[in-house]
Amino acid sequence: KRNKLARTREALETYRKKRKLLEENIAKMSAGREDSERRTRLLSDLSERQQRHAALRKELQAYHDCDPAVLQEKAEVTAALKDATNRWTDNVFSVKSWCKNKFSIEERVLNKQFDIPEDMDYLA
C-alpha cells in the first residue's frame, strides 16, 4: 500500500515538472506573437497566398491529362491492352475453329450458342 502511494507521488511530481516545462515553452513561443497590426496583416497575407496556391494547384490538376509523361503512359497502357484484346480474340477464334472441326458445328450456330458477335474481329 505504501509502495503504491510512493509510486503515485513520484508520478505526480513527474507530471508537475512536465507541466511546468510545457508552460515555460508556451510562454517562450507566445513571445512575439502578440496581436499587432503587422502580425494581423501578415497572417491575412499568408491566408490569401494559401488560397491562391490551392487555386493554382487545382488549375494545374485540370491540365494533368495534357502532361507528356501522362500521355506517354496512356499510350503504353493502351498498346498493352490492345495486344491483350487481340490475344483473347485469337483465342476465341482458335476455340471456334477447334469446335467447328471437332463437332462439325456451323460457325453461325456456334456464335449464337456462345453469344459471340458476328462482326467480332481483331483491333487494328
Q: Note the pLDDT tens digit of each residue in 50-82.
A: 999 999 999 988 888 788 888 999 999 999 999
What pLDDT does 92 receive? 94
Q: Collect contacts of 54-59 with beta carbons under 8 A, ≥24 apart.
A: none
Rounded Cα distance, 60 and 94, in Å: 48
Mean pLDDT, residues 31-59: 89
pLDDT band at residue 12 under the 50/70/90 scheme: very high
In whole angstroms, what separates CA 48 from the centre of its chain?
Answer: 27
Mean pLDDT, all residues of the chain:
91
Higher pLDDT, 19 or 38: 19
